[in-house]
Each structure stands twice: as C-alpha cells, then as structure tokens.
Chain A
Amino acid sequence: MLDFNRNHFELFGLSPAFALSRESLERAYRDIQAEIHPDRFAHAGEAEQRLAMQWTARVNEAYQTLRQPFERARYLLELQGVHAMDARNTAMPADFLVQQMEWRERLEEARTAKDFAALQRMESDTRAQAERLERQLAELLDERQDYVQAAEVLRKYRFMDKLRLEIDQAMEELDTP
C-alpha cells in the first residue's frame, strides 16, 4: 500500500538522481494532481476531502523539493544520511570565501550607485556560476557517489543562492519609487 513515507522520487516514479528530466517531473506532478487534488473531491465525503488535501500538500512538498536544484541535492544527500547543512559542517575553502567577499563588494557598490545594469550583469554572472556548481553536483552525486565532496559543493551553492536572492532584492529596491 502507498504511504506518506514513500520518498519524493518514488512518489513521482523517478529514479533518485540529481540530473532529472524536468519534463518528466512536471508531467508526473500534473498527472498525480489530476487524480488527487481537493477540487476532484469537492462533492465527496469529509474523509476523502481531508485525505485529498493531505495528499496534495504532500505531493506539493515533494514537487517543490525536487524542482529546486538546491533542495533536490540536499534531499538526495539526506537519503544517504549526509546532513550537508548541519551547523558543524561550515568549513569552506579560502579561495571561495575570498571570491564571495568580492561578489558582496560588487553588490554593495552597485546598490549604493543605484546601478541597475551592474546588478543585471551580476545576476547573469552568478547564474552562470550556479549552473557550473549544478554540473559538479550532478557528477559527484550521480556518477561518483562522492557524498562528502557533494556536500561541500552544495554549501557553495547555498552561498550563491543567498547572493542571488540579495541581488534580486537590490533590484527590487531600485524598482520601488
């Protein structure tokens, strides 16, 4: 019998891997939603309505996790018993930290100068960097099964994610009159 403890990949009929076909994931998500969404049970009994809501919430959670690269990698590592974001795992290579400081200086300068074009350049630079890290994650997780290395790359990815969020916020601030 199906149960709530089935892992996210199994729920969508996918093999557990970092590299995944977005299209297959989206199709499986839509197909499941078409069967279990609360809208399908609006005229059913109370018990079915409640279950439909719980299942849909569960499927939405799984979908959100799998479609975001960071969450997907973290989840894969957790399935291997590796808690990449554990507070004790904070060591980062020095060159990466130096690079981060440079990024942040650039961000601060662009923000103070209200330089929207500079923020847009940063956005595309950081996106390229994030894509590089995603390729590394795919190799480490799916081919080499090197989970310790993968956890370190994931922590770098987290830094980039946060930085990109801050760039977004800075752009939004410039937009707001």
Chain B
Amino acid sequence: MALLQIAEPGLSTAPHEHRLAVGIDLGTTNSLVATVRNGIAVVLNDEHGRPLLPSVVRYHRDGSTVVGYEAQTQASRDPHNTIVSVKRFMGRGLKDLPDATTLPYQFVDAPGMVQIKTVAGVKSPVEVSAEILKVLKARAEAALGGELIGAVITVPAYFDDAQRQATKDAARLAGLNVLRLLNEPTAAAIAYGLDNAAEGIYAVYDLGGGTFDISILRLTKGVFEVMATNGDSALGGDDFDRRIYCWMLEKSGLHAIGDHDKALLMGKAREAKEALTEHPEVRITAVLSGGELIDLALTEQAFNDMTESLVAKTLLPCRKALRDAGLRPDDVKGVVMVGGSTRIPRIQAAVGEFFGQTPLTNLDPDKVVALGAAMQANVLAGNKGQDDWLLLDVVPLSLGIETMGGLTEKIIPRNSTIPLARAQEFTTYKDGQSAMAIHVVQGERELVADCRSLARFELRGIPPMVAGAARIRVTFQVDADGLLSVTAREMSTGVESHVEVKPSYGLTDDEVARMLQDSYAHAQDDMAARNLAEAKVDGRRLAEATRNALAEDGDNLLTAEERAAIESLLQALEMALAGDDLQAVKRATDALNKGTVEFAARRMDASVKRALRGHRLEEIDV
C-alpha cells in the first residue's frame, strides 16, 4: 500500500467510490426513499413512476404481505388485516391510543407497545413498519443497482425515546444499516437551506399525516443548529380526515357502521380534503355495504369551521418553541412548510398570520424530508469532504428519574443539544439500604404519573451504610440518534455496581432474531448467508476506515511498532474477509476494533487541536 501524506483532513485515499446510501421518510400516511445521484438529491419512484408509497400493509393468511397503493385500495375490503397509519402505534401502549376502539384492529396489549392480531398472526408495529421499509429498500437497490451501505431514517422531532427506539428496531428488522435517525424538520431544513443558501433564523412547520412538529433553527455558515423544537406526536392530517368522516356520518344520519364502510368513508374523507385544496367545494359520493347512498357537498368554509380547533392546536407548540428559543415571531426570517397537510389553504393562512409573513412553499412538502435525509445519508456514508454542513440537533422532551413522592427530577432538560451525557448523584433514604430502584421517565410534568415511563431497573449490591451516606451516580447519555442509555454506579466506597439499561420498549436482540427468522421462513432466504454478508459489510467498513486512518495519520501519530501491530491485525481481517467463516470474520473485526482504540484516541485529539488552531491559544499547552 502506498503511504501517502495527506495534508487535508477527511480526504479519502481510497479510489473514488460512490457508496450507496438513501434517506427514508417513514411517514404516517406515505413513505418515500431518496438518494443523491450526481450531486443532486432525487426521490426514487416505483416501477409505475410514482414517488410515494402509501404506508399501508395488508397481511395474507400465508404470511405474505402487500404494501402501498394496492394495499390501500384493499383497505375497505379487508380492514382488520390492512394496517393503516401504523406510525401512530410505534412505541405506544394501548392506553396511549384514545381512539383504539374506533379503529378496525384487534389490539393485543403487550408490555411497552401494542400489537395487532392479523390473519398472519400477532404483529408488532415494528414488524409492520419493517414491511414498508423492506419495500423501499428493494426499490432503492433496484434503482441504484447495488446493496445499500446504509440509510438515514427520519422521525418526527417530537418523537420520544420509545418511538425512536421502535423506528430503529424496524429498520434493523428490514435489514437496513441505520446511519442516523434524523428529525423530520431538520431534514427539511437541510434540503431547504442548502438549496437557498439560507442564513438566519428559520422555522420549520411540519404537519404530517399523524404528527406535528415545529422546529426553530439557526443557519450559520453551513451549521444547522436547532434552537428549540416542540410539537404533538398525535396530531396530523389524519385528524382532519376524521373530522370530515364524523361530519359525513352526522349529515347522513348514520351511527354504527361496519369496519368495511368505515374504511371506505375514511378514504372518501381523505380524497375530499385533498380536493378542497384546489376547489372551493367538493361532492362526496359513496355506496355503503347495506346499499345506503351517501351524496354530500362539502364547502371549504364548512371544512375550515370543523377543523379550526385542529389548526389552533398547532399554533400552541409554535409559541412554546419560540419562547424556549428566546425569540419572537418577527425574529424568524422564513417559515418552511413541510407535510402534505400544509397544502390546506387555511393552515397556510394561519401560519402566515402567526409569523407575520407568507410561508415558503417552493419545495414539494411531500418530498422535502426525504430529500434532506438523502443529502445527510450521502455525507454520513462518506461521499463528501469536510467542507460540508453540520447538524446540531436537540432532545425534544426532558429526561429524568423518579424521586421520593412520585416526583420527577429532570437530569437533561428539553432542547439540550445532542449527543450529551449528564450525571447526577442520589442517595439512600434508609439505613443499610442495599438496593435502589431507578425509574427513567421522559416529559415536562412534575408528577411521574404524567410523564412517559421509559425504563425501570434496580441497582443492587450497595454496601450497608447509614441513610444518606451512599452516593449513587446516575448517568444519562443521549447519542446522536437521540437515543438514551442510563448507567448507575455507587461511588462512595469505591465499590462500583454498574447497570446498563436499554429502555424496556426496545426489542432485545433475541426478539429481533426471532422476528427475522419468522420473516425468512416465508422469504426462503438463508439466515446464515445473511449473517455472513452483514459481518463482512461491517468488516470491510472497518478495514477501509483503518486504511484511511493509517494513510492520513499513521506516520505522525504511531511508532513503527504500533503501526506494524495495526497492519498485521488489518491483514488478518482481510484474510478473514476473503473466506466464508462467520466466526473468523467477527473475531478479526473485533480484534482490529480493539487494536485501534489508542490510535483512534490520538486521532481525535489531533482533530480537536486542529479545530483550536486559529483561535487564541496562548493559554493552552498544545
């Protein structure tokens, strides 16, 4: 291997190779996949040239599935087995779904997250979402002609930890390597900001099918800094459809109608809402299963009246986000509209009035999130140099633990920039107390009962001490995906107990393995071959990263012996990658990972030094 000395950081020494990466907008109503081709972000259409994939999954008795438009047209024929808007159920328990009884599904209340009984068995919302992701993955691989190295999946900014974890699990189940979970409004800001070379304060108003987000961002020289975010993860375009649906029942004097008719009328309601964005009045006609004819005229004014409270409900989070950012509406330079529902004229008017300016609608509100996600995926896959943009996102809801009396002690306040770690010390309240229950919660309310419970675990083996003498340090860590992990440790005696929790709604590796097995029983795929392929992808990625690191910094940061040691581990990995022994590949990858820890640390230090160069350094002994 030629040992090149590279002056500029971040330039890959590998021959230029475009790594295939995509951005996926996994929406409540529709999903999309996009990629960057020849430097331009494009949405990938299906074989009929359609960009959207309706987020609808129909299960058949034999376990096979139909996803998208075909499933959508079948929803009224087979409502129990055709799952619509599954995103609303992600990371949610039965008690979190106020409208569960009006939905045509047979819910099963499982710990942490509801499940749905179908002809193909009980399905978790994670599995249903994975079916949608699999279709998009196949679409992308067919269009790009190769295997994806990874995907950026978008989530509503206001999604809590349970909902984010569920989304990541779904991607894992669909066989996608998640480069990053990205907040939808932030993705939209990238697409908009880079297209328009925007600088200053921008608001992104994102009304999706089932979720609402407002994010306030500061755009400065390629940095997208989220200052505050707020929203409502159970408010979206679906609710506007439901208002029309209820109005239709009322006008027709109907009360109890079957699930088939309900699905039919919900579809009609959605069509009427969409038609009203271009016509002042629409006619709704339908024939129900009992032969009843529905024939109604809906005016824009009547629609505005019945949905006025929904529109108002979106402005409250706007006010809160501005207050958290310490700004007033007139500080905002532009308002970017995202989500198909922002086509509703009344919404554009209300948002315009609130911010005192006409909202920006020059980007397709259905596509902008996927396009931004594709741009970020392209950067994360390593297809670009260092002169790119940087995202500084935040955690949307405060994180804390339960203390005495059912009160919440906040450890990480909302709108803190991620990734971050924060520790707080707690103590025992009884003499000789040897264990402590730790209950992790998310939300803004003071009472634990009003917040979302994320995880419970116990720290055991605290040495006997008088009350108040033990020092239990609880550390919260939120990674760049916005996902939390919690550690607790007893400090006072030097005896350390240490518990790592993955919040309880998250699927264990065993569960994911079981779901994968289930899905491959139908797809005639070979698990072993798949495992080997995945291990090789990981191994190759590490080998390439190491080669680049050696070329960039091997000479200045390593002694000859250290370098030789790493090179021999690298060689061993390359040997293993040439063979087909899964364990050998895993062992060699692991060995190289461990063998490069010190090198990685030195490279990181060098990066920080480089960043400080050009600043005042007189008091730093660099």
Q: Which residues on A sit within 8 Å (CB–CB) of B542? A: 45-46
Q: Which residues on A sit within 8 Å (CB–CB) of B392? A: 33, 37
* Chain A CB within 8 A of B597 CB: yes
The proximity string for B residues 367-390 relative to A, scoring 1 for CB distances below 8 Å and 0 otherwise, is 000000000100111100010001
Q: Which residues on A sit within 8 Å (CB–CB) of B477? A: 57
Given contacts A32-B608, A48-B545, contact A60 B615 (CB under 8 A): no
Q: Which residue of A2, A13, A14, A56 contacts B419 across the interface (Cβ within 8 Å)?
A: A56
Contact B319 A39 (CB under 8 A): no
Contact B600 A2 (CB under 8 A): no
Contact B479 A36 (CB under 8 A): no
Q: Which residues on A sit within 8 Å (CB–CB) of B619? A: 10, 13, 15
CB distance from B452 to the nearest CB of A (A): 19
Contact B323 A53 (CB under 8 A): no
Closest A residue to B597 by beta carbon equals A47
* Chain A CB within 8 A of B611 CB: yes
Contact A43 B381 (CB under 8 A): yes
Contact-residue bracket for chain B: 35 or more
CB distance from A13 to the nearest CB of B (A): 4
Q: How far is the CA of A37 from the CA of B619 in the complex (A)?
A: 24
Closest A residue to B615 by beta carbon equals A13
Q: How far is the CA of A47 from the CA of B594 in the complex (A)?
A: 8
* Chain A CB within 8 A of B473 CB: no
Given contacts A32-B611, A45-B546, A46-B542, contact A55 B604 (CB under 8 A): yes
* Chain A CB within 8 A of B422 CB: yes
CB distance from A35 to the nearest CB of B (A): 4
Q: Which residues on B sit within 8 Å (CB–CB) of A46? A: 542, 593
Given contacts A2-B605, A33-B392, A52-B604, contact A44 B611 (CB under 8 A): no
Contact A36 B420 (CB under 8 A): no
Contact A12 B390 (CB under 8 A): no
Q: How far is the CA of A24 from the CA of B612 in the complex (A)?
A: 12
Q: Which residue of B312, B421, B596, B609 contacts A177 across the interface (Cβ within 8 Å)?
A: B312
Closest A residue to B320 by beta carbon equals A172
Contact B601 A30 (CB under 8 A): no
Q: How far is the CA of A60 from the CA of B476 in the complex (A)?
A: 14
* Chain B CB within 8 A of A40 CB: yes
Contact A13 B620 (CB under 8 A): yes
CB distance from B446 to the nearest CB of A (A): 11
Q: Tell me how many residues of A have a C-beta within 8 Å of chain B.
A: 46
Closest B residue to A26 by beta carbon equals B220
* Chain A CB within 8 A of B480 CB: yes
Q: How far is the CA of A15 from the CA of B596 in the complex (A)?
A: 35
Q: How far is the CA of A12 from the CA of B592 in the complex (A)?
A: 33
Given A30-B220, A33-B390, A177-B316; 4 other pairs, CB 8 A cutoff: A28-B615, A42-B382, A60-B416, A61-B420
Measuring CB to CB, which residues of chain A are less than 8 angstroms from any residue of chain B?
Answer: 1-2, 10, 12-15, 24, 27-28, 30-40, 42-48, 51-58, 60-61, 63-64, 168, 171-172, 175-177
Smallest CB-CB A-B distances: 6 pairs:
A13-B615, A42-B380, A43-B382, A47-B600, A35-B611, A48-B600
Q: Can you list 28 pairs linking A and B with CB atoms under 8 Å apart?
A: A2-B605, A2-B609, A13-B612, A15-B619, A33-B390, A34-B390, A36-B604, A38-B479, A39-B180, A39-B380, A40-B10, A45-B545, A45-B592, A45-B600, A46-B593, A47-B594, A47-B599, A47-B600, A47-B601, A48-B596, A51-B601, A51-B604, A53-B419, A53-B479, A53-B480, A58-B421, A60-B419, A171-B323
Measuring CB to CB, which residues of chain B are less than 8 angstroms from any residue of chain A?
Answer: 9-10, 19, 179-180, 220-221, 223, 312, 316, 319-320, 323, 376, 379-382, 386, 390-392, 416-422, 477, 479-480, 541-542, 544-546, 549, 592-594, 596-597, 599-605, 607-612, 614-617, 619-620, 622
